């Protein structure tokens, strides 16, 4: 059985949605306990790999709150559709590399 997917969403509408969502949910005081727990698990997993300065790509990086922790392991590239969030990520993590755009259509 084959399933056909059709791109039927407006990228600007998505960008507006995620900019609004990030402003509401990704401040220092609104990052939820579940997200922080998943962050801890991901960081512990990364630590346990024993990699020396891995190059890390974070898809859907938002305002860079997780990239701020990941950059301690190695160079981080964050990608997000929300341009306002990317601007904040660049301020928050100046040593990171942040790209604004649709990761599915980027030449990485």
Q: What does the pLDDT look like over 33-67, one tens digit per residue?
A: 888 899 999 999 999 999 999 999 999 999 999 99
Domain span at 92 = 11-105
2 inside domain: no
56's CB contacts (< 8 A; 6+ apart) are 46, 70, 71, 73, 74, 75, 76, 77
* Residue 6 counted as domain residue: no
In total, how many domains does the chain have? 1
Going by pLDDT thresholds of 50, 70 and 90, the confidence category of residue 70 is very high
Q: Could you read off the pLDDT of 4-40 as tens digits, one per residue? A: 555 567 888 888 898 888 888 777 666 778 888 999 9
Local confidence band at 83 (pLDDT 50, 70, 90 cut-offs) = very high
| pLDDT score for 106 | 82
CATH number at residue 84: 3.40.50.150
Q: Is residue 46 part of a domain?
A: yes
């Amino acid at each position: 059985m084959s399933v056909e997917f059709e791109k039927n969403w407006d990228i600007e509408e998505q960008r507006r949605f995620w900019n609004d969502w990030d402003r509401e949910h990704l401040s220092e005081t609104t990052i939820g306990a579940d997200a922080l727990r998943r962050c801890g698990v991901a960081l512990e997993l990364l630590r346990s790999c024993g990699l020396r300065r891995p190059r890390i790509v974070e898809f859907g990086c938002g305002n860079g709150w997780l990239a701020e922790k990941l950059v301690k392991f190695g160079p981080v590239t964050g990608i997000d559709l929300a341009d306002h969030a990317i601007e904040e990520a660049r301020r928050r993590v100046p040593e990171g590399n942040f790209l604004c755009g649709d990761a599915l259509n980027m030449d990485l």
